[in-house]
């Protein structure tokens, strides 16, 4: 029996010839990640139990990106815990303000995560790196602490679901639309404990940015990881970024899947997920006259350069509706700089958007774009749970950058075709 790409990586990392679904393994981690919310607990545990050193100072990564630039004294104290710990233990990949970006955009960009890696992160969207053909999954602070000490984690080998996206996508249908549609189809626990493997024509034609977006949201269907087999685009992306050796894996033809889901990508239009669940996906044309107060373009889901390019294409020469606040947050310093070089920032500012620093702030209701009672927001972020972005009676509509930008112009949820 052949193995899936996920099983192959898990076998290699647990020094086995093969692994089977349901088997519990102890695996070596290539990267263990924490942020300013989750790492303080892990560090507390690390120190409380008398651990003296990290298993590998090069493999532990701390990214203070959630409440930074620090929104209040308490978050400043949390960040200080990371900073002091990182200095004490000589952590190679600690990112201070000015160098920090949103973790899941930053790590691939810096070549810290690579194809074939096993990556754990105390952040649920750690599954993003599956776009590189790595096994990556979100864990909590205790698991992070244990991995910081031992360099290992126990995992149950997940069953895999294969998603085949056939056909070419229409204009303005991005990775975000494919994944929102998919979560709408299978539900927010449709892949609970499982691996989501994305394949097919539409995936091959998707940019790396679009692939990161898709794998990022695998957790919104409950998945342990999302994964895409590396191809030339992957290698092109990794080229010049990787500072160490890596191996690419592909699923065997006779690999076992617990389910295969076929999706005709050519039939899809841009999607919007209605509050309060990413699973409430609808085609944008079905939504009429939903007036909005705010638009957020950014986050680990859609804050990369091609997301900003798509927004700029729509916003160029136009103004944000007077009833709307448009907040644009490039995911990293490099994305920011590239947006500047390409003239995107000028387009945004001329359209009367505010462009902020890289931060996770508004996505989780931290800061930099909190919603008041009754307000509605179109966001390119990944969750629209009750109270996610502020007041429990505010509403978040999840969409890709094209729908978000178009909606900022009209002041209501809008199909991008309408404003071009």
Partner 1 sequence: MSALKYKGRVFKYGDNVNTDVIIPARYLNTIDPKELASHCMEDIDPGFPKKVKPGDFIIAAENFGCGSSREHAPISIKACGVAAVIAKSFARIFYRNSLNIGLPIIECPEAIESLCDGDEIEVDLNDGTITKISSGQVFKSKPFPEFVQKIIEKGGLMEYVSSRETR
Q: Which residues bind partner 1 (CB under 8 A)?
A: 37-38, 40-41, 44-45, 48-49, 66-67, 71-72, 74-75, 78, 121-124, 126, 138-143, 145-146, 188-189, 192-193, 219, 222, 224, 277, 364-366, 383, 385-388, 392
Shorter beta-carbon distance to partner 1: residue 78 or 302:
78
CB atoms within 10 A of CB 243: 9
Task: Name the DSSP letter for residue 390.
Answer: B
For the bound state, the minimum distance from the C-beta of residue 157 to partner 1, rounded and expressed in Å, comes to: 13
Shorter beta-carbon distance to partner 1: residue 142 or 259:
142
Shorter beta-carbon distance to partner 1: residue 194 or 211:
194
- Per-residue tokens: 26: 């102890």
Cα–Cα distance for residue pair 310/370, rounded to 1 Å: 24
Task: Name the DSSP letter for residue 366.
Answer: S
Overall residue count recorded for the chain in this entry:
420
For the bound state, the minimum distance from the C-beta of residue 194 to partner 1, rounded and expressed in Å, comes to: 9
For the bound state, the minimum distance from the C-beta of residue 342 to partner 1, rounded and expressed in Å, comes to: 32
CB atoms within 10 A of CB 112: 25
For the bound state, the minimum distance from the C-beta of residue 29 to partner 1, rounded and expressed in Å, comes to: 15
Q: Which segments within 49-108 are labelled E, that is strand? A: 60-63, 93-94
Cα–Cα distance for residue pair 9/19, rounded to 1 Å: 10
Cα–Cα distance for residue pair 166/141, rounded to 1 Å: 39
Specify whether the CB–CB gap between 319 and 409 falls below 8 A: yes
Q: Which segments within 255-341 are labelled E, that is strand? A: 259-264, 271-273, 281-283, 294-297, 325-328
For the bound state, the minimum distance from the C-beta of residue 36 to partner 1, rounded and expressed in Å, comes to: 9
Task: Report the alpha-carbon angle 151-155-161, nearest 5.
Answer: 130
Listed in sequence order, the residues at least 6 apart from 333 whose beta carbon sits closer than 8 Å to its beta carbon are 98, 99, 100, 101, 358
Shorter beta-carbon distance to partner 1: residue 219 or 315:
219
For the bound state, the minimum distance from the C-beta of residue 161 to partner 1, rounded and expressed in Å, comes to: 14
For the bound state, the minimum distance from the C-beta of residue 191 to partner 1, rounded and expressed in Å, comes to: 10
84: exposed, middle or buried (C-beta count within 10 Å: 0-12, 13-18, 19+)?
exposed
Q: Token pair 């342990």 is at which residue?
A: 224
For the bound state, the minimum distance from the C-beta of residue 114 to partner 1, rounded and expressed in Å, comes to: 22
For the bound state, the minimum distance from the C-beta of residue 65 to partner 1, rounded and expressed in Å, comes to: 13
The pair phi, psi for residue 252, each rounded to 5°, is -70, 155
Shorter beta-carbon distance to partner 1: residue 193 or 323:
193
For the bound state, the minimum distance from the C-beta of residue 73 to partner 1, rounded and expressed in Å, comes to: 9
Shorter beta-carbon distance to partner 1: residue 44 or 338:
44
CB atoms within 10 A of CB 99: 13
Shorter beta-carbon distance to partner 1: residue 46 or 246:
46
Shorter beta-carbon distance to partner 1: residue 146 or 329:
146
Task: Name the DSSP letter for residue 264.
Answer: E
Shorter beta-carbon distance to partner 1: residue 69 or 270:
69
Shorter beta-carbon distance to partner 1: residue 75 or 407:
75
Cα–Cα distance for residue pair 230/115, rounded to 1 Å: 7
Cα–Cα distance for residue pair 341/84, rounded to 1 Å: 35
């Amino acid at each position: 029996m052949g193995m899936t790409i996920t099983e192959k990586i898990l076998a290699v990392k647990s020094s086995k010839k093969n692994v089977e679904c349901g088997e519990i393994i102890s695996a070596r981690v290539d990267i263990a990640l924490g942020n300013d919310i989750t790492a303080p607990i892990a560090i507390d545990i690390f120190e409380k139990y008398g651990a003296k050193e990290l298993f590998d100072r090069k493999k532990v990564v701390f990214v203070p990106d959630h409440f930074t630039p620090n929104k209040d004294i308490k978050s400043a104290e949390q960040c200080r815990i990371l900073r002091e710990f990182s200095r004490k233990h000589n952590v190679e990949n600690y990112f201070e303000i000015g160098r920090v970006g949103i973790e899941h955009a930053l790590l691939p960009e810096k070549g810290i995560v690579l194809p074939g890696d096993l990556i754990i992160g105390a952040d649920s969207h750690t599954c993003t790196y599956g776009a590189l053909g790595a096994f990556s999954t979100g864990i909590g602070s205790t698991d992070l602490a244990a991995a910081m000490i031992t360099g290992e984690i126990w995992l149950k080998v997940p069953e895999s679901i294969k998603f085949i996206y056939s056909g070419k996508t229409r204009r303005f249908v991005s990775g975000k639309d494919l994944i929102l549609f998919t979560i709408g189809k299978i539900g927010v626990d449709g892949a609970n404990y499982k691996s989501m493997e994305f394949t097919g024509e539409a995936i091959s034609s998707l940019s790396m940015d679009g692939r990161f977006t898709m794998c990022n949201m695998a957790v919104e269907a409950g998945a342990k990881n999302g994964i895409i087999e590396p191809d030339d685009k992957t290698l092109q992306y990794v080229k010049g970024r990787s500072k160490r050796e890596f191996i690419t894996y592909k699923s065997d033809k006779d690999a076992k899947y617990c389910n295969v889901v076929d999706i005709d990508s050519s039939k899809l239009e841009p999607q919007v997920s209605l509050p309060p669940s990413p699973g409430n996906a609808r085609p944008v044309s079905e939504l009429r006259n939903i007036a909005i107060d705010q638009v957020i373009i950014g986050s680990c889901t859609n804050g990369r350069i091609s997301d900003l390019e798509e927004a700029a294409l729509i916003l160029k020469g136009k103004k944000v509706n007077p009833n709307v606040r448009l907040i644009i947050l490039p995911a990293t310093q490099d994305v920011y700089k590239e947006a500047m070089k390409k003239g995107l920032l000028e387009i945004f500012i001329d359209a009367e958007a505010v462009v902020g620093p890289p931060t996770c702030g508004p996505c989780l209701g931290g800061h930099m774009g909190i919603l008041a009672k009754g307000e509605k927001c179109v966001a390119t972020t990944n969750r629209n749970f009750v109270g996610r972005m502020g007041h429990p009676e505010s509403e978040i509509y999840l969409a890709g950058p094209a729908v978000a930008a178009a909606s900022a112009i009209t002041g209501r949820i809008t199909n991008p075709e309408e404003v071009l």
